[in-house]
């Protein structure tokens, strides 16, 4: 794993507004440049009633209303990875507010794997071209006057990226809150040893760096939380705090993952998110269908 190439500018403190989606335990964020009206949206959620086959946009509309009410300009829609537990609303928000959709360059690996799982035809492009920007490890970009950079932090999926924006880092599905530990590593292309090294890479950021989680499940009944720091995680994370060995983590993570069922929305989520949040093409009758491959995962 490469060392962190960019200095973290702790003097830049983006304004972070969180939106918690209870059905999927996902936290989306609006990240505003403190020196301008520019902002980014990270890991937006599209609502789905899976049993009814109905898609709605209440969660996305709340983000859109927040941006419009504050007179902000949306420059980026960032996906930290191809989510397996919720559908992205990035193209819906982009259609209302503009901005560019970005994800890690290893999306092509995910598209190749799941293009086969869902028996997608040749019309499904596996080159990441559905996204406006494919981030390589260490790539930088701007949100107004803020400089942001992307770190490749795989292990949960091959395409996972952590986005560092000023004194804040958005870790996707790698770290959880200290009492939650870490994400699973048993999806296709996932690897527990790689995940451990990615998490330790994140924990090389300055101790006061704010860390924002993509998920929280309220362990032991506590209230939902989504913000920690590098120092907190290094001191208290139950899976990856200082002193925890890589081999012990791998043994624990692999044993735990064997007890976990698949996420409820994994099949619709992957079909949509590998397309940058777009639904599959309509059939000749005009209807859109999500596939249910049998015994494929």
Please, what is the average pLDDT of the chain?
A: 94
Examine the pLDDT at 4 and tell me if it is beyond 80.
no
pLDDT score, position 55:
95
In Å, how far are 183, 195, 293, 294 from 180, measured between CA atoms? Answer: 9, 15, 31, 31
Examine the pLDDT at 87 and tell me if it is beyond 60.
yes
Specify which residues 18 forms β-bridges with.
29
- Average pLDDT in the 264-273 region? 92
In Å, how far are 1, 117, 224 from 196, measured between CA atoms? Answer: 11, 27, 24
Q: Among residues 80, 120, 226, which one has the least CA distance to residue 88?
A: 80
Q: In what order do the strands lie in the sheet with 26-32?
A: 15-21, 26-32, 38-42, 73-78, 100-104, 133-135
**E strands within 22-156?**
26-32, 38-42, 47-49, 54-56, 73-78, 100-104, 133-135, 140-143, 146-152
Rounded distance between C-alpha atoms, residue 48 and residue 290, angstroms: 12
pLDDT tens sequence across 38-69: 999 999 999 999 989 999 999 999 999 999 99
Torsion of CA 126, 129, 131, 134, to 10 degrees: 90
3-state secondary structure of 67: helix
The model carries a pTM of: 0.94
pLDDT tens sequence across 163-217: 999 999 999 999 999 999 999 999 888 999 999 999 999 999 999 999 999 999 9
20: enclosing H helix or E strand: strand 15-21
- Average pLDDT in the 264-292 region? 91
């Amino acid at each position: 794993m490469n060392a962190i190439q960019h200095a973290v500018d702790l003097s830049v403190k983006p304004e972070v507004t969180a939106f918690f989606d209870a059905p999927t335990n996902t936290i989306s964020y609006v990240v505003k440049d403190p020196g301008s009206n520019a902002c980014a949206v990270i890991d937006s959620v599209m609502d789905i009633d899976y049993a009814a086959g109905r898609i709605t946009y209440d969660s996305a509309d709340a983000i859109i209303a927040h941006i419009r009410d504050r007179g902000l300009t949306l420059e980026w829609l960032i996906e930290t990875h191809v989510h397996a537990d919720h559908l992205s609303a990035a193209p819906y928000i982009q259609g209302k507010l503009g901005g560019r959709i970005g994800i890690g360059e290893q999306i092509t690996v995910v598209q190749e794997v799941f293009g086969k799982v869902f028996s997608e035809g040749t019309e499904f492009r596996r080159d990441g071209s559905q996204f406006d920007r494919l981030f390589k490890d260490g790539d930088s970009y701007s949100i107004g006057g803020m400089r942001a950079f992307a770190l490749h932090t795989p292990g949960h999926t091959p395409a996972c990226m952590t986005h560092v924006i000023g004194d804040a880092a958005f870790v996707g599905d790698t770290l959880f809150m200290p009492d939650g530990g870490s994400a699973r590593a048993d999806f296709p292309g996932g690897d527990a040893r790689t995940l451990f090294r990615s998490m330790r890479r994140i924990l090389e950021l300055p101790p006061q760096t704010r860390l924002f989680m993509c998920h929280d499940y309220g362990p032991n009944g506590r209230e939902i939380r989504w913000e920690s720091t590098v120092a907190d995680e290094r001191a208290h994370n139950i899976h990856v705090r200082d002193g925890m060995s890589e081999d012990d983590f791998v043994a624990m993570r692999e044993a735990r993952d064997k007890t976990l069922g698949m996420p409820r929305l994994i099949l619709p989520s992957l079909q949509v998110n590998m397309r940058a949040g777009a639904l599959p093409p309509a059939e000749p009758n005009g209807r859109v269908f999500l596939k249910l491959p049998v015994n494929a995962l």
